[in-house]
Structure 1
Amino acid sequence: MGTIIRRTAAAAAALALLAACSPSDAGGKTKLTIATFGEFGYEPLIAEYQKLHPDIEVQNRVTDFDTHHKGLATQLATGHGAADVVAIEEQYIPQYLKAKDKFVDLASFGARDLENQWAPWKWAQGTDGDFVLGLGTDMGSLALCYRRDLFAAAGLPTDRDAVAKLIPDWNAYATTAQRFTDKTPNVKFADSAGTVYTAMLNQSPENYFAAKDDSFIGGTNPTVRNAFFLSGGIAQKGQTAAATTFTQAWNVAIKQGSFATIACPAWMLSQIKQAGGDGTSGKWDVTTVPGASGNQGGSFLTVPKQSEHPQQAYDLARWLTAPEQQKKLFLSDGILPSEPAVYKDPQVLEHKDPYFGDAPIGKIFAASADSLRPNYRGLHDADVRPEFGRALGRIEDKTENVDQAWADAVQQAQAALK
């Protein structure tokens, strides 16, 4: 799941303490733990699973994105504390495929028999060809969420099809940003340069590292440079709210209507609803994202070798990722399925969201699913990606211009690799 929900330090600490304790079997029941980041919508499914399997008791651990993944790294290094089933976000999959000795090969439980359940690109993400690391949960195909009322105030079209024609690519997005600013200078066009930048990168097969040999290409890859200069250019003109996704500033900006657009994967819609509350219901709409289809987010359920019950853990992961459960999660929480049989299901395709002006989110988000291709992140993506994000932030706070920020980002990324 791409969802990142920040919790208080006290709550995170308490959950981390829970993560250090492995439940033992008692009362004749097998106790399993599943660790996720943010909300995967699993609570009602877990309750259902326990009713179907009265001999199983499942504890659901939920922490924020960073706490979860850093905690997993520590648990694997120390050899204890990992849950029986662990969610891993797609950007970390290459890293953990290199550490596959720490995980159960799900092929040993027959996972390969399920291969056709997923979109081919999604299945390929979770395996190195032989070893099956995880079973896919959701995916994050992109759309564009926009405020109809703010578009109307700027004299722009508000119908979702007309907006799609107005902004077919990112150059048109930048042009529209200027038109919007000329008419409504007190409202920003985008939430942050980082969101625009990330969306553009997610439409490319490679970003900072070459898929063939994992070499650093961030400074020479035209996709990275173009994305940085376009998003940085918007920021330099003061057309972003400088509100980083899922921060308190972002929540406030949504509630106050401080910006008009955001590139949004399906899982983000629930976050926009939570931040905006009833006050922005019906003001938002959804249309196709500028440029090609791209994927942002999506996870896999894995089973660390530390699990004392790998078969039961696999059975739980298989059930949670089965088509029936993926369909329930979309209809209840808007979590986009990664399985063709589900995202092509008539009930999914016909699903509309009244908060977003009855936008046909099933059709919009599923439309590009078959053509999606994950972009190669590289083993050290987490070391260099933040440097470019911080550089865009320096443009937004006007301490650097685009050229300076780009040069510094490339230099700092290279230094981080040393």
Structure 2
Amino acid sequence: MRTITRAATTAAALVLLAACSPSDAGGKTKLTIATFGEFGYAPLIAEYEKLHPDVTVQNRVTDFDTHHKGLATQLATGHGAADVVAIEEQYIPQYRKAKDKFVDLASYGARDLEKQWAPWKWAQGTDGGFVVGLGTDMGSLALCYRRDLFQAAGLPTGRDEVAKLMPDWNAYAATAEKFTRQTPDVKFADSAGTVYTAMLNQSPENYFAQRDDSFIGDRNPSVRNAFFLSGDIALKGQTAGATTFTQAWNVAIKQGSFATVACPAWMLSQIKEAGGDANKGKWDVTTVPGSSGNQGGSFLTVPKQGEHPKEAYELARWLTAPEQQKKLFLSDGILPSEPAVYEDPQVIAHTDPYFGDAPIGRIFAASADKLRPNYRGLHDADVRPEFGRALGRIEDKTDQSVDQAWAEAVQQAQAALK
């Protein structure tokens, strides 16, 4: 889902929480659910407790890295994991290989729910007949842009016109050139890393081959093209160097320091929060350059070490049911991975006044229909950061050329695999 650092806690706090294993109190079954960032679950949990008066649910919320590192430790030691644990899509391949640590949700009838999800989403959460997790959201992409800044640069401002202006990433780079010439004090993109990630998410393979999981990041043209286009934009000073969801990014949003960002549906609430009321109506949403890609999405899993696996499964099943997924989109803009929900007339008709009444339901539903997921690989999380850091060095004006940054990223990625 959202790789953000809201509600960040220290690792020590996580260990303390982990030490408090769920127990029954007052005759009620106590369940814990662990998520990273805000999944919008608070009102749903309250509703679930009303529907199930014999159950209490505690939601542990930590930041992305702490959450996933903590889970690895909990599974290795055999204690401390929540009853229901969210796992982001880039980590799912690793945990499918460690399925012996999880309850096979098929044993509780999960396979009967298969048609609920887009086929690719269901496949991500399974290993053969073993069901590791139930899908939550997905991150099909759109493009968020500042209408006022486009107007100041003499560019089209209407959604359809902006989409026609940038049908692919080469056109996006060309538009960045035009924008910078007219408004040199404002950057076109938030960061090279965001552009790079969006381009990668439109490729069927990134750093590893789907056939045998071998490292291909050094020779995959999709990776190289994405790196050099985004690196060139950074080298020309057309990015704000604001990594998504950092404090610098929040400030840049509030101050209007950049004009575009590739945005999955869940990012819209973060833009609103960072921009505040002063920026309402300045942002808009249109289709993303290139084909739709997926940025984010999670699964609810049930570790074996929990005391109440059946009850944990029932909670995960309820939270991922179409009715709840629809509520999450309408309230928090979290796009469901279930076609029956994102094709629902009420979802398609949904607009957002903060983004100039943009028809976000229609835009993201259309993006979802075109989405083709990419293969991440078992060690994606080990090598991906090296390329991001390399782009950051270009933005930081370390006198590295794009070629030099690329060569160093490849070398460090290969070293990480050893």
Contact 1:15 1:62 in 2 (8 A): no
Query: Following superposition of structure 1 onto structure 2, how do residues 74-113 of structure 1 map, counting pairs within 5 Å?
Result: 74-113=73-112
| CA shift for structure 1 position 368 | 2.3
CA distance in 1, matches of 2:326, 2:236: 42
Contact 2:9 2:62 in 1 (8 A): no
| CA shift for structure 1 position 145 | 0.2
Aligned to 1:189: 188
**1:39 maps onto 2:38 in alignment:** yes
Contact 1:119 1:370 in 2 (8 A): no
Contact 2:285 2:355 in 1 (8 A): yes
**1:335 maps onto 2:339 in alignment:** no
| CA shift for structure 1 position 384 | 0.7
Give the SS at the match of 2:263: strand
Aligned to 1:241: 240
CA distance in 2, matches of 1:15, 1:408: 35
CA distance in 2, matches of 1:8, 1:310: 27
Contact 2:329 2:336 in 1 (8 A): yes
Please give the per-residue CA displacement for 1:125-168, whole angstroms capped at 9, x wherever unaligned.
10122111000000000000000000000000000000000000
Give the SS at the match of 1:34: strand
CA distance in 2, matches of 1:16, 1:328: 32
Aligned to 2:373: 374
CA distance in 2, matches of 1:6, 1:52: 29
CA distance in 2, matches of 1:125, 1:26: 36
CA distance in 2, matches of 1:378, 1:92: 9
Cα pair distance change 1:337/1:8, threshold 3 Å: closer
Query: Following superposition of structure 1 onto structure 2, how do residues 206-355 of structure 1 map, counting pairs within 5 Å?
Result: 206-355=205-354
| CA shift for structure 1 position 13 | 4.0
Contact 1:210 1:378 in 2 (8 A): yes
Aligned alpha-carbon RMSD (Å): 1.0
Aligned to 2:415: 415
Worse-matched range after superposition: 320-329 or 395-404: 395-404
Residue ranges of structure 1 left out of the alignment (5+ in a row): none
| CA shift for structure 1 position 9 | 4.8
- When normalised by structure 1's length, the TM-score is 0.98
CA distance in 2, matches of 1:366, 1:15: 36
Please give the per-residue CA displacement for 1:146-199, whole angstroms capped at 9, x wherever unaligned.
000000000000000000000000000000000000000000000000000000
Cα pair distance change 1:9/1:236, threshold 3 Å: same
CA distance in 2, matches of 1:320, 1:93: 19
CA distance in 1, matches of 2:312, 2:257: 45
CA distance in 2, matches of 1:26, 1:226: 57
CA distance in 1, matches of 2:147, 2:289: 17
Query: Following superposition of structure 1 onto structure 2, how do residues 167-206 of structure 1 map, counting pairs within 5 Å?
Result: 167-206=166-205
Contact 2:169 2:289 in 1 (8 A): yes
Give the SS at the match of 1:367: helix
Please give the per-residue CA displacement for 1:51-102, whole angstroms capped at 9, x wherever unaligned.
0000001011000101100000000000000000000000101000000000
| CA shift for structure 1 position 8 | 5.2
| CA shift for structure 1 position 16 | 4.2
CA distance in 2, matches of 1:45, 1:3: 21
Matched residues, number = 417
Give the SS at the match of 1:368: helix
| CA shift for structure 1 position 373 | 2.1
Cα pair distance change 1:66/1:376, threshold 3 Å: same
Contact 1:3 1:39 in 2 (8 A): no
CA distance in 2, matches of 1:161, 1:148: 12
Aligned to 2:13: 14
| CA shift for structure 1 position 3 | 4.2
Residue ranges of structure 2 left out of the alignment (5+ in a row): none
The amino acid that maps onto 2:139 is G
CA distance in 2, matches of 1:68, 1:187: 35
Contact 1:105 1:132 in 2 (8 A): yes
Contact 1:139 1:297 in 2 (8 A): yes
The amino acid that maps onto 1:192 is S
- When normalised by structure 2's length, the TM-score is 0.98
| CA shift for structure 1 position 15 | 4.4
CA distance in 1, matches of 2:417, 2:32: 35
Aligned to 1:392: 391
Contact 2:191 2:241 in 1 (8 A): yes
Q: Matched residues, percent identical?
A: 87
Contact 1:4 1:65 in 2 (8 A): yes
The amino acid that maps onto 2:57 is V
**1:117 maps onto 2:102 in alignment:** no
Aligned to 2:131: 132
CA distance in 2, matches of 1:20, 1:208: 37
| CA shift for structure 1 position 369 | 1.4
CA distance in 1, matches of 2:369, 2:303: 30
Contact 1:3 1:267 in 2 (8 A): no
Give the SS at the match of 1:172: helix
CA distance in 2, matches of 1:46, 1:90: 23
Contact 2:14 2:70 in 1 (8 A): no
Contact 1:154 1:183 in 2 (8 A): yes
CA distance in 1, matches of 2:17, 2:254: 34
The amino acid that maps onto 1:68 is H
